[in-house]
Chains A and B, each alone.
Chain A
Amino acid sequence: MGESDRRPHDGEPDGAPGRPARDMPAPRPSGDSHESHDLLLVAALAAGDLTSDDRDRADRQVTACADCAAVHRDLLAIADAMARMPEPVRPRDFTLTGEDAARLRRPSLRRMLLGLAGPRGFVGRPLAATVTSLGVAGIVFASASGILGGAAAGASPASSETGGNYFGSQSGGSVERDLTPAPLQDAGPSSTKAVRGSSLDALGSGTPLIPVGSSAFVTDSPESAEAPGGAPVPASSGGLDVASSAGNDVAAQTHGRLTQATSWSPLLVVSAAFLAVGLALFALRRIAGRLV
């Protein structure tokens, strides 16, 4: 239906057209003209829905205004004609055949999908939106917590973690701590990389050996990599080899830092799962909508 076909009373009342400040308003009908009368009141009167006060007002309106009386008469005539509409001729027989019955008794993936995510299915848009929002909020919260936690950890003295047993030696004024040798093979032979640990890094890279929020200057040069006590570590050996060679206390510390680094992972995993489920529900609804 085009805009030109729109008639009054088609839907909700339109707002006032034009800008209120500049445009000349349409002339207001006077209080006695038919245009100013409430036709919905007349329609409610024709339907018999009015309370006594409103009915009196509507009766007065219909009595005083001939046009309103005509509207009232027309509405009653239309309602009467609606009730007396003849039954249309049925074009075909709707009885079920044996094949129909057999087919309907079988379980069907399409029906299951429609029952689950169809117009009246269990999976509504609010549910999908809620699950998706929870997932997004959880991921944001986990990331923000990781950043805030990292900042807090960076602000606190690292002596508890970088004590005498920690890998580290003063070299050129910077603290070098080597716990993650795996990425070093990608770097140049004597390059030094600054790796900032976070829960996301821990989740994604699979090398969660950096404390949360701490900056570890990692080097793969054999000269600068040293074991506790200043013993050099061979460049070919991995971090776990270093840990095993450094003794059980180092391994225990590594495990402790690993646990700390991945402390936000469950929230992140659950949030990601929520997000995935929410998006899957949206996809299910879309597929079911095409099947209807």
Chain B
Amino acid sequence: MLDSPRLRIAVGRITLPVEDARPAPAEDNPIQRRDLILLERARTGDLEAFNDLVRAYQDHLYSLVVRMVPDRDQAGDAVQEAFFSAFRNMDRFRGGSVRSWLSRICVNAAMDAQRLKKRRPAQPYPELEDDNWQPPAGADADPERTAIGAERTRVLHGALAAITDDQRTAIVLFDVEGYDYGEIAALTGVSLGTVKSRIHRGRLALRDRLSDRMELFRG
């Protein structure tokens, strides 16, 4: 009884090895440290420092927005507007991950673009007619595999463009960007259950859209 582990823990004779599950602080991550330094320099008026941040994240942010806003021109405008907004609101950055901060601004800009598109619909899904939508192929890539991959991407992008904006946003943030449900709920301003429902229904809607091309995905 006196030698039971529970008692020893209670009187503090031994300390249990507790794994620290918290994420590493920003200063320990070299990329985050670099971002914070660039942002601090940009705050003092160094435009080149801000542009270094833009160069570091513009590819990622554009790929995020272009999946939420199928019109590539609108997506480009949304990303540009997001960087403008980030430049104007640098002083409001409260610490943490610069990448997450920029992603949040871009998601908001993309949602604004979706609202604008609903209000002023011009051409529904120009991406479907866009033959330039090809992933870059490496020099040693197998031509057949490259063609299948390009076709799969084109078909998937067309199906994404055909589901609702809310479902598309949730699926892109979850499947492509890797946000968890809570982060998506915070980003889009809806409840956790709504996020899950949008993802489940969106995936089923994608499957309906892709039902006659599923062989591209099963292989």
Interface of B is mostly: helix
A170 within 8 A of B: no
Given A83-B175, A96-B83, A40 contacting B200 (CB threshold 8 A): yes
Question: Which residues of B, 48-74, contact A by the 8 Å Cβ criterion?
Answer: 50-51, 54-55, 58-60, 62-63, 66-67, 72
Asked whether A46 lies within 8 Å of B84 as measured between CB atoms, the reply is: no
Interface: A11 (CB within 8 A) = yes
Q: Which of A74-82, A140-148, A176-184 contacts B (4 or more CB under 8 A)?
A: A74-82
Residue in B66, B199, B209, B217 whose CB lies within 8 Å of A88: B66
A residues whose Cβ falls under 8 Å from a Cβ of B: 1, 7-11, 39-40, 43-44, 46-47, 49, 71, 73-75, 77-83, 85-96, 98, 100-101, 104, 111, 119-120, 289, 292
CA distance A91 to B71 in the complex (A): 12
For A91, give its contact among B72, B84, B124 (CB under 8 Å): B72
Besides the known contacts A74-B210, A85-B67, A92-B76, 19 further A-B residue pairs in the complex with CB atoms under 8 A apart: A40-B197, A43-B204, A46-B203, A47-B203, A49-B196, A49-B200, A74-B218, A77-B217, A78-B156, A78-B206, A81-B152, A82-B175, A86-B153, A90-B59, A91-B72, A96-B51, A101-B50, A104-B84, A120-B108
Q: Which residues of B are found within 8 Å of A119, using beta-carbon distances?
A: 111-112, 115
B80 at the interface (CB under 8 A from A): yes
A43 touches B153 (CB 8 A): no
Please determine whether B201 and A11 come into contact, CB atoms closer than 8 angstroms. Answer: yes
Q: Is B38 an interface residue (CB 8 A)?
A: no
Residues in B whose Cβ lies below 8 Å from that of A87: 59-60, 63, 135
Contacts of B196 in A (CB 8 A): 44, 47, 49
In the complex, whether B179 has a CB less than 8 A from a CB of chain A is no
Residues in A neighbouring B108, C-beta threshold 8 A: 120
Question: Which among A78, A93, A111 is the interface contact of B207 at CB below 8 angstroms?
Answer: A78
Q: Does B36 contact A (CB under 8 A)?
A: no
What are 19 A-B contacts with C-beta separation under 8 Å? Answer: A40-B201, A43-B204, A47-B196, A47-B200, A71-B207, A77-B214, A77-B217, A85-B67, A85-B156, A86-B136, A88-B66, A88-B133, A89-B136, A94-B62, A98-B47, A100-B84, A119-B111, A119-B115, A292-B112
Within 8 A of A (CB), among B129-171: 133, 135-136, 149, 152-153, 156-157, 162-164, 171
B185 close to A (CB within 8 Å)? no
CB contacts (< 8 Å) of A71 on chain B: these are 204, 207
Instruction: Give the docked Cα–Cα distance between A219 and B83 (Å).
Output: 74
How many angstroms from the CA of A119 to the CA of B214 in the assembled complex? 39
Map CB proximity to A onto B110-126 as digits: 1 under 8 Å, 0 otherwise: 01100110010000100
Contact status B176-A82, CB under 8 Å: yes
Q: Are B63 and A88 in contact (CB under 8 A)?
A: yes
Interface string of B187-205 (1 = CB under 8 A from A): 0000000001101110111
Contact B204 A40 (CB under 8 A): yes
B residues touching A (Cβ–Cβ < 8 Å)?
47, 50-51, 54-55, 58-60, 62-63, 66-67, 72, 76, 79-80, 83-84, 87-88, 108, 111-112, 115-116, 119, 124, 133, 135-136, 149, 152-153, 156-157, 162-164, 171-172, 175-176, 196-197, 199-201, 203-210, 214, 217-218
Question: In the assembly, what is the distance between CA of A73 and CA of B163, in Å?
Answer: 20
Residue of B with least CB distance to A71: B207
Chain A residues whose CB sits within 8 angstroms of the CB of B200 once the complex forms: 40, 43-44, 47, 49
Which of B47, B119, B204 is the one whose CB lies under 8 Å from A9? Answer: B204
**Chain B: which residue is nearest A77 at the CB level?**
B217
Do A43 and B58 have beta carbons less than 8 Å apart?
A: no
CA distance A46 to B171 in the complex (A): 13
Please report the C-alpha to C-alpha distance between residue A10 and residue B115 in the assembled complex, in whole angstroms. Answer: 19
CB neighbours of B54 from chain A (8 A): 94-96
**What separation, in Å, do the CA atoms of A83 and B116 have in the docked complex?**
28
Query: A101 touching B47 by the CB < 8 A rule?
Result: yes
Leading 6 A-B pairs by shortest Cβ distance:
A86-B135, A43-B200, A82-B175, A9-B204, A77-B217, A87-B63
